[in-house]
Amino acid sequence: MGALRYAVHAYAWTSKWTKNALRLFGKARELGFDAFEVPLMDLEEVHPQDIRKEAQKAGLLVVTSTVLSEATDVSSPDRDTRQRGIEYLMRCVEVSAEMGALSFSGVLYSALGKRISTFPGQEYFERAAEALQKVARRAREFGLTVGIEPVNRYESFLINTCDQALELLAMVGEPNLKIHLDSYHMNIEENDFYTPTKKAIPYLCHYHLSESHRGIPGTGTVDWDGIFQALAEGGYRGIVGMESFAEVSDSMRAGTCIWRKMAPSSDVLLREGLAFLRELEKRHFAP
């Protein structure tokens, strides 16, 4: 058993979580994954006890994730919107705990894709921090880790880099609030991959190992050696994952901005990508 546990996001195969997606746990195990990432965007379709049962049957760990919309934006100036966001995140925490998830993470600090007309003032960070403090405290009652994921400038106006995520963590001040990195977004926003990865490790709970064009890892411009060197040097022992949209549906295309085929199939992308990542782990984590 290696140092890292590899997760696969359900969106590798499906654009919407339904009970039919439960069959994907077996597929993930067949492809060699250790964990499964369950999206909570369609929360009414998520049945945590069924997920827990299927995960246990397949011998997989579970993590969860979501994003906020403009209707649930916890950084919003509007009090009612913030309250809806807090209530939604609290429900996500409860569902994650019920299915036995190790962590719940994603864009939990502001609305995905929202644009504002100027740089965000400190009040946006303060409102997000106030909400996340409540959510993290609730999650701690279940022994659940909450992670915030920096994403690129086209998807968030608030948290784009590891340094910004660290600042928000300090404002919240809760020990179970961590960082979820994603190399696809880092390729746009960070100056390199090694430095932010190394900085994040004391607070790292998840890492999406996505290629610069979201294709097969190892075929783009991500500095994979820099990432794995930092993970190894920092002694990271936890979840990393593949977030792929190779078979993206028309309903997801506008959100993922994928307009060409990135691999022959999701299975090919995941199989070849996982083999590449495990080889990197062997090289960098070797005794």
pLDDT reading at 248 higher than 60: no
Over the stretch 183-217, which tens digit does the pLDDT of each residue have?
999 999 999 999 999 999 999 999 999 999 989 99
Find the catalytic residue in 54, 243, 247, 281: 243
Computed on alpha carbons and rounded to an integer, the radius of gyration of the chain in Å comes to: 18
What is the mean pLDDT of the segment spanning 7-13?
Answer: 94
Q: Give yes or no for a contact between 69 and 17, defined as CB atoms under 8 angstroms apart.
A: no
Verify whether residue 45 is a known catalytic residue.
no
Note the pLDDT of residue 2.
84
pTM of the model: 0.95
What is the band of 72 on the pLDDT scale with cuts at 50, 70, 90?
very high
Which domains are seen in the chain, by residue range? 5-284 (3.20.20.150)
pLDDT for 36 equals 98
Q: What is the mean pLDDT of the chain?
A: 94
Q: Which of 37, 149, 155, 190 is catalytic?
A: 149
pLDDT of residue 178: 98
Helix axes 122-141, 79-98, angle to 10 degrees: 30
Per-residue confidence (pLDDT) for residue 52, from 0 to 100: 98
Q: Is 149 a catalytic residue?
A: yes
- Residues in contact with 217: Cβ distance below 8 Å, sequence separation at least 6, in sequence order: 209, 210, 211, 224, 242, 273, 276, 277
Residue 225 has pLDDT above 90, yes or no: yes
Q: Coil, strand, or helix at residue 63?
A: strand
Tell me: the pLDDT tens digits for 21-58? 999 999 999 999 999 999 999 999 999 999 999 999 99
